[in-house]
Structure 1
């Protein structure tokens, strides 16, 4: 099963149909995705299930329904075990951004963390789950596919938010402050942090 977020509401891609209660079920192949997005944005519906036949084809079929934006990002730990967060659009988030030119997704993730926070000496430790969310740009819906990496750094310098990207704060947060920040974050970020 795959989860794609519209705001904080999930669209689940699955091969199994459950009995409907506070969600709706549609066939993946024939669904009008714009209608589903509007429904999730404008009603109190909690989730949507899109059902397909083969597990291995669910995501491929879904990703063809809208233009894709590819991004890379990092869940960065310092030597004290604190996590690097940015504050943008009144929510706590992890640094991430779109790929440029022919860079690898790992290069994108490191570049974006550096640009958005000024943290240097980043080292990728391992891959984290990929997240998917739908957003609107210039009147069109798109699917952002974000490849995440756990990173470490021994950087002790000053943090500096990339203001032109709408980032107003950059902070290292320990366990208690991270838990508090997750109350004002995005569903896909909560998946990576919890």
Structure 2
């Protein structure tokens, strides 16, 4: 099972047909994805379930329905156990960005965290869950596939918000601060943190 978010509303990719309650079932093969996205966006639908009989082909068949944008990002810990957050588009987020041609996803994640925050000396400690969300750019829907990595750093310098990317704040947050930030964050980030 996979969750793909449209805003904070999930599209669940699954092999199981369940009785509809607060969601609607659609066959992945015949679904009008743009119509489902619009229903999730306008509030007439809380959740959509996209069903395909073969669990091994489920994600591949879904990803073929829209253009894909591949990104890498980091959940970065400092030596005090705080997590690095950015504030962009009036929401708390983790740093991430688009992969460049012929760049490994690990290099993308480290480069993007550094560019968006000014934090250096990053070391990947382990891969985290991959997240999926749908966004609209230039009138076209796209699926962003973000490969996340847990990272650590001993960096203790100044943080710099990459303003041209719409980032207005970069902060190290501790436990209670993270809880507060997650009240104004994205569903994908809540899954990761």
TM-score (norm 1): 0.99
Secondary structure of the corresponding residue to residue 112 of structure 1: helix
CA distance in 2: counterparts of 1:110 and 1:42, whole angstroms = 36
Secondary structure of the corresponding residue to residue 56 of structure 1: coil
Q: Which residue of 2 aligns with 1:136?
A: 136
Is the aligned partner of 1:19 residue 2:37?
no
Q: Which residue of 2 aligns with 1:161?
A: 161
**Offset at 1:46?**
1.4
Secondary structure of the corresponding residue to residue 53 of structure 1: coil
Secondary structure of the corresponding residue to residue 116 of structure 1: helix
**Offset at 1:44?**
4.0
Gapped runs of 5+ residues in structure 2? Answer: none
CA distance in 2: counterparts of 1:122 and 1:21, whole angstroms = 45
- Correspondence list, 1:12-161, <5 A: 12-161=12-161
CA distance in 2: counterparts of 1:40 and 1:47, whole angstroms = 7
CA distance in 2: counterparts of 1:152 and 1:50, whole angstroms = 37
**Offset at 1:52?**
0.4
How many residues align? The count is: 193
Secondary structure of the corresponding residue to residue 129 of structure 1: strand
Moved over 3 A (4+): none
Gapped runs of 5+ residues in structure 1? Answer: none
Q: Which residue of 1 aligns with 2:173?
A: 173
Secondary structure of the corresponding residue to residue 57 of structure 2: helix
CA distance in 1: counterparts of 2:122 and 2:15, whole angstroms = 39
Secondary structure of the corresponding residue to residue 55 of structure 1: coil
CA distance in 2: counterparts of 1:91 and 1:59, whole angstroms = 28
**Offset at 1:43?**
2.2
TM-score (norm 2): 0.99
Q: Which residue of 1 aligns with 2:8?
A: 8
* Aligned residues: CA RMSD: 0.5
CA distance in 2: counterparts of 1:148 and 1:137, whole angstroms = 22
